[in-house]
A and B are shown apart, each in its own frame.
Chain A
Amino acid sequence: MTIRILLVDDHPIVRQGLRTLLEGRPGWEVVGEASDGLEALDKAASLNPDVMVLDVTMPRMNGLEACRLIRKRTPGLEILFVTQHDSPQMMREAMEAGGRGYVVKSNAARDLLAAVEAVSQHRVFTALTRNVSPVEAR
């Protein structure tokens, strides 16, 4: 299955790590990168991705604000948060903002591919470190 992915993180080295992981999956394409929420809004509109992998803490506009706006402007685009915040409270806030998935950065290598696959099919995927295994729900 082809999935077009937009990567949004303010650290180029994190985007490089995510890209390396995602491009290993046949058919998946990283169509663009953005380094903050404002740039993410622009690229979401111009590149028409299926999934946005979105950091929370970024300069200019954080991921939560960006997510709320994208939900209104591009409802078909699924958003997967990938963040360092390993907290149920932050996860709840991210999902309320309109995220379809939530993965902790320290576990991204383990959870990212399954999470992208799930959200691309409009399924919820959340995983905190304290969960032994990821939670996936329809």
Chain B
Amino acid sequence: MKLRILLADDHEIIRRGLCALLQKHEGWEVCGEASDGREAVEKAKQLNPDVVIVDVGMPHLNGLDTTRQLLHHDPNFKVIVLTITDSDQVIREALDAGARGFVLKSDAARDLVAAVEALQSKRMFFTPRVNDLVLAGFLEKGHVPSRNEPPSLPTLTAREREVTQLLAEGKSSKEVASLLNLSTKTVETHRSNIMRKLSLHSIRDLVVYAIKNNIIQLEMPPHIKSAGESTIA
């Protein structure tokens, strides 16, 4: 029986590249594709794939919240997070969300097959940097960071995080309401709760919070990026 993989990335060109890579592997098939996190959650529920590969920087619902929602729906989902950055914070959030694999997009051609193979064998796959971070956490604290540890940031509900992302992407409360099938009044209530919990005072503050906490990701022109650092651009 074939291993069924669901791919979620907002760039079709990346999905094509990933598909080409994964389908070379005998016994694997890409059973579905999604272009944002919400679509990924819906398709995962319909298709029940063996492995879900999610990009972190997706519109509407980012890959970290997608992972949380997937595992909330079914803790048996095996999720590999694909990311352009292996910053400590993204790693911690991916681990906290329950990802079982973590692969840098820049290394996907090399690491992704190994990551899927690891999950297929009921193991986990992380980049060396993740291993270093986990080990450092173990040595410093005497234990590996746990999914049950209280987060250092004020806790937003899954719905509040979705609303935060959509507002930070520039959508109006009415547009958010339409996307989430909620009333505008409910979205306004979520928005007030978010601002209160996070002690924010404006949408500008919310956008800054969303960027700092990897809820949305920024594009940077090449002039202000250092050599060797590159987004999937």
Name the B residues within 8 Å of A84 (CB-CB). 219, 231-233
CB of B108, distance to nearest CB on chain A (Å): 5
| Bound form: Cα–Cα A108–B19 in Å | 16
**B105 proximity list for chain A (CB < 8 A):** 11, 13
Decide yes or no whether A21 CB sits under 8 A from chain B. yes
Q: Which residues of A contact B11 (CB under 8 A)?
A: 17, 105-106, 108
1/0 contact trace for A18-43 toward B, CB 8 Å?
11110000000000000000000000
Which of A13, A14, A17, A20 has most chain B Cβ within 10 Å? A13
CA distance A10 to B222 in the complex (A): 13
Q: Is the interface of B mostly helix, strand, loop or mixed?
A: helix
> For chain B residues 182-228, which have a beta carbon within 8 Å of chain A?
219-222, 225, 227-228
CA distance A16 to B11 in the complex (A): 13
Q: How many A-B contacts at CB < 8 Å in the complex?
A: 94
Q: Does B21 contact A (CB under 8 A)?
A: yes
CA distance A128 to B227 in the complex (A): 26
Chain B contacts for A114, CB-based, 8 A: none
Q: How many residues of B are in contact with the other chain, CB < 8 A?
A: 30
Whether B222 contacts A18 by the Cβ 8 Å rule is no
Q: Which residue in chain B gives the minimum CB-CB distance to A104? A: B11
Main secondary structure of the interface of A (DSSP, over half): helix
Say whether, besides A14-B13, A16-B16, A59 and B230 are in contact (CB < 8 Å).
Answer: yes
A18-B17, A57-B220, A84-B232 given. 5 additional CB < 8 A pairs? A10-B230, A14-B13, A14-B17, A20-B16, A57-B231
**A interface residues with partner B (beta carbon < 8 Å):** 10-21, 55-60, 62-64, 83-86, 90, 105-106, 108-110, 112
Between-chain CB contacts (< 8 Å), 6 pairs = A10-B106, A13-B21, A56-B221, A57-B225, A57-B230, A84-B219
